[in-house]
Structure 1
């Protein structure tokens, strides 16, 4: 059993990762029944409770569902996973778009006044010009809309470049911004909000009126504090799982912005 979690991870997590990889690769397709518990016990050489823990992880992630008396199946409508901390490193390695598994439709590219939210994140005045790239992302197989997105880049970085043109960029957008700015993305801040979709968002994403979305505002800065990009992503709340894995501090730490939940 080979996984990306390393040998220090609990066995059930390593098994979940192995099965998760097979689902993503299409070895186990939507609607497929997973091998019986006894077969998984024999394959991974672990106890039945360990297998049940692994399947519980996949159920919690929305990847599989158990049908009483029948077995465990890959969900037909499984959720997309976002692992924010892994995205930049993967794109630096393969030079692909951050969401290369989806089809990108660029619906606008050019200059527009910064909204209050974007201006606040960038440290500029509301109404100042920024380079904006708006997109809708679709499942490549079904053509179902999966995400509404937008990126906002300072004019001094992206002005008079191909980022003002309505074309899919040749590699991850942040790599293009790094090329133009001469600076590396160093720090990121994600602000997550769950809310009702606007009528326009509901129409684009195929939601019922009042449907719920998850909206993230992502601010990326260079080591010197320069804001290189502000981006927004909006997903139907019932189609996405947000996964954040990080080391847990072993010593007392103080934060300027403590958690309230």
Structure 2
């Protein structure tokens, strides 16, 4: 049997996890200044570069803010995203309603033959052409979720060219293809990110994520989108809103 070596968590991420746990426990005053890199270096017996990596990771996660020449401080209003799933509301809608600025970064786009599980979810023949998009979604420049989206090619001609400069996928689908999307089903499970996902989301591999897979239909009842979204568990709380 082939054995795989366990991947070790980098030292800077271990230190960042410890500092984040202390911040959550209230060991640092609200809007207070963090200990200097020198003090933290002595405490954790780490070099200054490693300590700086740890602090910058906490900056990227929305916990700390950096002031040049002054050090690192707790954020006044850390991100706390209350993401509500409804039949029609999109990520951008939710983030704007929370007073935050949404952003979508297209990481990759390609056309492939659909694997068996994707084809089944979308009601396609296995191997039928579909687009696969990888999208990083952010709020106020802080990464919140990594999405892999599949769209049947038959419904979206020339999508790879038009999607390159998108700001919102759903706005693009509505404006260019006249398509309104409605949620058919969603499944949920928790876990931990891979090292690649942790890097994109700027979190430690020890941070929990919420994995949501959703199938969307259009106004004609056709299954037109399958998205696998991985949300940061440290910043996102997801709820479901049922129709009355």
Q: Using the TM superposition, give the Cα deviation of residue 243 of structure 1 relative to its aligned residue in structure 2, in angstroms.
A: 2.0
- TM-score when normalising by structure 2: 0.56
Change (3 A) 1:246 1:186: closer
Question: Per the alignment, in what secondary structure is the counterpart of residue 108 of structure 1?
Answer: strand
2:82 paired residue number: 81
Q: Using the TM superposition, give the Cα deviation of residue 225 of structure 1 relative to its aligned residue in structure 2, in angstroms.
A: 3.2
Question: Per the alignment, in what secondary structure is the counterpart of residue 124 of structure 1?
Answer: coil
The C-alpha deviation readout for 1:10-59, integer Å capped at 9, x for no partner, is: xxxxxxxxxxxxxxxxxxxxx68xxxxxxxxxxxxxxxxxxxxxxxxxxx
CA separation in 2, counterparts of 1:219 and 1:86? 11
Q: Using the TM superposition, give the Cα deviation of residue 91 of structure 1 relative to its aligned residue in structure 2, in angstroms.
A: 7.4
Q: Using the TM superposition, give the Cα deviation of residue 193 of structure 1 relative to its aligned residue in structure 2, in angstroms.
A: 1.5
1:214 paired residue number: 210
RMSD: 3.4
Question: Given that residues 113 and 126 in structure 1 are in contact (C-alpha distance below 8 angstroms), is that contact kept between their aligned partners in structure 2?
Answer: yes
Structure 1: stretches of 5+ with no match in the other structure:
1-30, 33-73, 249-261
CA separation in 2, counterparts of 1:222 and 1:231? 14
Q: Using the TM superposition, give the Cα deviation of residue 190 of structure 1 relative to its aligned residue in structure 2, in angstroms.
A: 1.2
CA separation in 2, counterparts of 1:82 and 1:138? 13
Change (3 A) 1:197 1:229: same
Change (3 A) 1:165 1:185: closer
1:111 paired residue number: 111
Alignment of 1:9-158 (within 5 A): 76-85=77-86, 88=89, 101-140=101-140, 143-158=141-156
Count the aligned residue pairs.
168
Question: Per the alignment, in what secondary structure is the counterpart of residue 83 of structure 1?
Answer: strand
Question: Per the alignment, in what secondary structure is the counterpart of residue 172 of structure 2?
Answer: helix
Q: Using the TM superposition, give the Cα deviation of residue 151 of structure 1 relative to its aligned residue in structure 2, in angstroms.
A: 2.2
Matched, 1:203 2:204: no
Higher relative CO (CA 8 A, sep ≥ 6), structure 1 or 2? 2
Change (3 A) 1:125 1:195: farther
Structure 2: stretches of 5+ with no match in the other structure:
1-29, 32-74
The C-alpha deviation readout for 1:184-238, integer Å capped at 9, x for no partner, is: 4344211111122122112212232343211111111135431021122111222
CA separation in 2, counterparts of 1:210 and 1:155? 37
Matching residue within 224, 228, 234 for 1:228? 224
